[in-house]
Amino acid sequence: MASSESSAPRPGRPAVHGFWEGTGAAKTFTHPLDHGLLEQYVPREARILDYGCGYGRLTAQLVELGYGGVHGVDPSRALIERGLREHPELRLELFTALPLPFADGSFDAALLFVVLGVVTGDADQHAVMAELARLVRPSGVLYLSDVPLQSDERHVRRYEEGAAADPGRPYGVFTTPDGGLFRHHRPQELRELLHAHGFTVEEERPMATATLHHGETTRSVQVIARRAASG
């Protein structure tokens, strides 16, 4: 499916860091999809939005698992173009602004894999979550994977250097030597962000995950959250 763009503007829309149009677009993404966890909460006939799909790694896995109504979207042109080269059969679309061109409640479930880790500003994170709250139907599911604050010396040093370079940034935002900009969260920050947009955490699973940088691992967390029922 050819890529398309949504031109509808929205204040505070998440910006694409230049890293994802260059070096980052060649990376191999690593957060694993827990098939058992997904199947526990999301039936095969569900309409699923892979928000921040990158090059379609998880979108392809969902299709292979038998999920037919899967749609991937991402703001990086380089990643979408890569995805369409590698998976021309998938529905992958470029978006450059919010809201996305889908009606309210269009999806039964959404994936949000390490999107909050690369959309680093508070206002931009709230814009993403507000859009997902619009798109996921009442009682629908959000499957989130992201990285909490790490306690090892290397990461703590990165956090402190990031805070010193820009005191206005949230704590946990840091840059990597190859030019990436990332954010790790206090676990309670993720829960509060979900709650603020009408999602209730139903299950939370910690795990160790390889990073985008060879040989490094982090403690990560996967969360199943359910949108409030209407009324």
Give φ, ψ of 24 to 5 degrees: -65, -30
Given a cut of 70, is residue 94 above it in pLDDT? yes
Q: Say if 67 falls within a structural domain.
A: yes
pLDDT over 90 at 4, yes or no: no
CATH code: domain of residue 54: 3.40.50.150
**pLDDT of the residue at 230:** 78
Q: How many structural domains is the chain composed of?
A: 1
Is position 173 within any domain?
A: yes
Task: Give the tokens for residue 170.
Answer: 């949230």
pLDDT at 23: 94
Question: Residue 3 domain-assigned?
Answer: no
User: What average pLDDT does the segment 84-92 reach?
Assistant: 97
Among the listed residues 210, 224, 75, 152, the one whose alpha carbon sits nearest the alpha carbon of residue 83: 75
1 within domain boundaries: no
Q: Is 107 domain-assigned?
A: yes
Query: Which domain covers residue 94, as residue numbers?
Result: 18-227
Q: Does residue 92 belong to any structural domain of this protein?
A: yes
In this prediction the pTM is 0.91
Is a pLDDT exceeding 70 seen at residue 210? yes
